[in-house]
Amino acid sequence: MDRVATCKRTTKETDIAVTLNLDGTGKNEIHTGIGFFDHMLDGFARHGLFDLKVEVKGDLFVDCHHTVEDTGIVLGKAILEAVGEKKGIKRYGHMLLPMDETLALCAVDLSGRPYLQFHADFACDRIGDMDTEMIREFFYALSYSAMMNIHLKILDGANSHHMAEALFKAFGRALDMATMDEPRLSDAWTTKGSL
Ligand SMILES: [Mn+2]
């Protein structure tokens, strides 16, 4: 079965279309209007081996807030839809990702229960046209709309670009692991019967 989802969302603040294929190769077309955010989503897609299309028209004349947060909402929805009933998949995923001086940890659970734990102290308030405080907001929005548990932590780091990029790549790797087939299972991996 195809694990592909297309999700759209239009408000007065943003107009967003996301197509996600969990069984891709990392190829992506991403246009959010924020260069650094595009770079982050590219890292997520490439390292998760997800095919990803993201088209966003956001109110960047205000600031980057709505654009980044709402993209998290729509990408999360696409993840939730693409994983479907979560039968025969690993469910949990994790990654310890080094990037020069930075070491980022990500652990995820496709639990059906939204939760975000996020620890990263960025040295800069902005990277390019993206406010660093929006990185947490992105993952918070995504954790809710994907109904998944996400732990992200910078264990070591100094450069804000490295820290942000390591978080997005680690998330891609961890989500790839969580969505991988587990051929020994035909149902969802839980004692509850469903996730
Ligand atoms: Mn980079």
Give distance in angstroms: CA of 194 to centre of ligand 1.
Answer: 38
The whole-angstrom separation of Cα 175 and Cα 148 is 10
Higher pLDDT: 82 or 190? It is 82
Give distance in angstroms: CA of 96 to centre of ligand 1.
Answer: 17
- Short-list 158, 116, 23, 13, CA closest to 74: 13
CA distances from 155 to 81, 98, 178 (A): 32, 10, 22
Looking at residue 191, its pLDDT comes to: 87
Give distance in angstroms: CA of 121 to centre of ligand 1.
Answer: 18
Give distance in angstroms: CA of 77 to centre of ligand 1.
Answer: 26
pLDDT digits (tens, 9 = 90+) for 43-65: 999 999 999 999 999 999 999 99
Give distance in angstroms: CA of 104 to centre of ligand 1.
Answer: 14
Architecture of domain 4-178: 2-Layer Sandwich (3.30)
Looking at residue 13, its pLDDT comes to: 98
Overall average pLDDT of the 64-91 stretch: 97
Give distance in angstroms: CA of 123 to centre of ligand 1.
Answer: 16
Looking at residue 159, its pLDDT comes to: 98
Give distance in angstroms: CA of 191 to centre of ligand 1.
Answer: 41
Give distance in angstroms: CA of 37 to centre of ligand 1.
Answer: 10
Q: Do 88 and 183 contact (CB within 8 A), yes or no?
A: yes
Backbone angles phi, psi at 50, to 5 degrees: -105, 140
Task: Quote the percentage of the chain above a pLDDT of 70.
Answer: 100
Overall average pLDDT of the 110-123 stretch: 97
Give distance in angstroms: CA of 40 to centre of ligand 1.
Answer: 8
The mean pLDDT of the chain is: 97
Give distance in angstroms: CA of 99 to centre of ligand 1.
Answer: 10
Predicted TM-score (pTM) above 0.95: yes
Backbone angles phi, psi at 132, to 5 degrees: -65, -30
Domain ranges of the chain: 4-178
